[in-house]
């Protein structure tokens, strides 16, 4: 097994007070204080994507990471006073930038247009992870020190899950360095180095811990104000909207969905999604998609059709990979040709061209039930 050995030295100046301490506690004076580590780190033995270096403060975890990946630990994120999206590499398209931000659970377009220093702790951490991944060269390891140290523990767990999922999906490598052991089951690392115990272990990737949710109808007038500022379009809620919420076991409403009746000329059974919002601390777990699918199934059992129309890339991606949603958008792809300025000149709204509609489709085994 490969072992990494390293040491940290610092001078210990002799003063009257250090001499007193040496006498009081029988500590022999030394010209230098030396701390040595010897930790197992056989990371070349197997392929891996996510690693975790963990240990209490002062255990030497950052020193170990700096010894193995000195260049990556020295990298400073290039945040400035511009919008988040303007800080990403110039060669990245806006589509790739927003997809990466969504993948780490930062899914709010208004937030993407704000400077880094205006974000909350949880939002800022997710933005940092996204930029770290975006600026790490192919073949390099992205190393993040003080992983989740500045965010509350709920955000830490969710953000760990979304980051690890993104790393695996994009074929990158990430090493998280932290004093918090509670992120282990959410990060699902391929290996863990506990520096304090000098213990290294390979792990098999397992599903993240369960998050039990209760879904039911709610009073939208009372609940919506908490979600309104996180919605990327109008914060107004239609008086005719039927509203539903997703609640954790602790009784916290973490996701909101509503629908309205759509006056279609050929059918009287069409319902349209009106507002779908998940609180930032819980984004990236698929709660909004779960609530939307549950609502679609509920309406189908009641004899209705349910559609979601949105320009949001996270909703597009979620519906596109699900068997429960069918893309019903027609006739727009052929129109979206040429620069945006030309499309506007031809009377084509850019946001309209990026909008997609999906209709809930019940499971095949249920096709003979209920819609009549």
Q: Are residues 254 and 316 in the same domain?
A: yes
Q: Are residues 159 and 81 in the same domain?
A: yes
pLDDT the model gives residue 31: 60
pLDDT the model gives residue 4: 75
**What is the pLDDT confidence band of residue 330, given thresholds at 50, 70 and 90?**
low
**What is the pLDDT confidence band of residue 371, given thresholds at 50, 70 and 90?**
very low
The predicted model gives 16-36 an average pLDDT of 77
Q: Are residues 139 and 233 in the same domain?
A: no
pLDDT at 28 over 90: no
CATH of residue 331's domain is: 3.40.630.30
pLDDT tens readout for residues 168-187: 999 999 999 999 999 999 99
Q: Are residues 218 and 182 in the same domain?
A: no
306 in Cβ contact with 271 (< 8 Å): yes
C-alpha to C-alpha distances, 144 to 155, 163, 273, nearest whole angstrom: 16, 11, 39
The predicted model gives 12-39 an average pLDDT of 78
pLDDT the model gives residue 2: 76
Q: Are residues 277 and 335 in the same domain?
A: yes
The predicted model gives 262-278 an average pLDDT of 93
CATH of residue 83's domain is: 3.40.50.300
Residue 24 lies in a domain: no
pLDDT tens readout for residues 95-114: 999 999 999 999 888 899 99
The string of DSSP letters for 139-193 reads TPPEEESSTTTTS-HHHHHHHHHHHHHHHHHHT--EEEEES-GGGHHHH--SEEE
pLDDT the model gives residue 129: 95
pLDDT at 336 over 80: no
Domain count, the chain: 2
Q: Are residues 248 and 325 in the same domain?
A: yes
């Amino acid at each position: 097994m490969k072992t990494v050995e390293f040491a940290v030295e610092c001078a210990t100046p002799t003063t009257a007070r250090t001499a007193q301490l040496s006498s009081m506690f029988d500590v022999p004076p030394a010209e230098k204080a030396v701390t040595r580590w010897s930790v197992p780190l056989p990371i070349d033995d197997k392929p891996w994507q996510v690693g975790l270096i963990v240990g209490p403060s002062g255990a030497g975890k950052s020193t170990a990471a700096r010894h193995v990946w000195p260049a990556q630990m020295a990298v400073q994120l290039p945040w400035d006073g511009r919008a988040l999206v303007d800080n990403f590499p110039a060669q990245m398209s806006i589509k790739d930038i927003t997809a990466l931000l969504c993948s780490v659970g930062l899914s709010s377009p208004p937030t993407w247009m704000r400077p880094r220093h205006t974000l909350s702790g949880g939002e800022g951490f997710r933005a940092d992870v996204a930029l770290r991944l975006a600026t790490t060269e192919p073949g390099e390891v992205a190393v993040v020190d003080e992983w989740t140290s500045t965010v509350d523990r709920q955000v830490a767990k969710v953000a760990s899950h979304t980051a690890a999922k993104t790393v695996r999906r994009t074929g990158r490598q990430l090493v998280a360095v932290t004093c918090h052991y509670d992120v282990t089951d959410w990060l699902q690392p391929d290996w863990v180095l506990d520096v304090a115990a000098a213990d290294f272990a390979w792990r098999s990737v397992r599903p993240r811990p369960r998050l039990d949710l209760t879904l039911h109808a709610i009073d939208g007038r009372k609940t919506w104000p908490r979600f309104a500022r996180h919605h990327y379009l109008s914060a107004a809620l239609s008086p005719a909207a039927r509203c539903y919420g997703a609640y954790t076991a602790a009784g916290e409403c973490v996701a909101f969905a509503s629908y309205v009746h759509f006056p279609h000329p050929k059918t009287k059974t069409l319902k349209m999604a009106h507002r779908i919002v998940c609180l930032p601390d819980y984004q990236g777990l698929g709660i909004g998609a779960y609530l939307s699918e549950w609502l679609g199934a509920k309406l189908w059992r009641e004899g209705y059709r349910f559609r979601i129309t949105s320009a949001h890339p996270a909703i597009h991606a979620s519906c596109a990979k699900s068997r429960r949603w069918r893309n019903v958008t027609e006739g727009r792809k052929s129109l979206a040709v040429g620069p945006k300025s030309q499309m506007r000149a031809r009377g084509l709204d850019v946001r309209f061209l990026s909008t997609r509609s999906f209709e809930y489709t019940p499971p095949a085994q249920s096709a003979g039930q209920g819609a009549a």
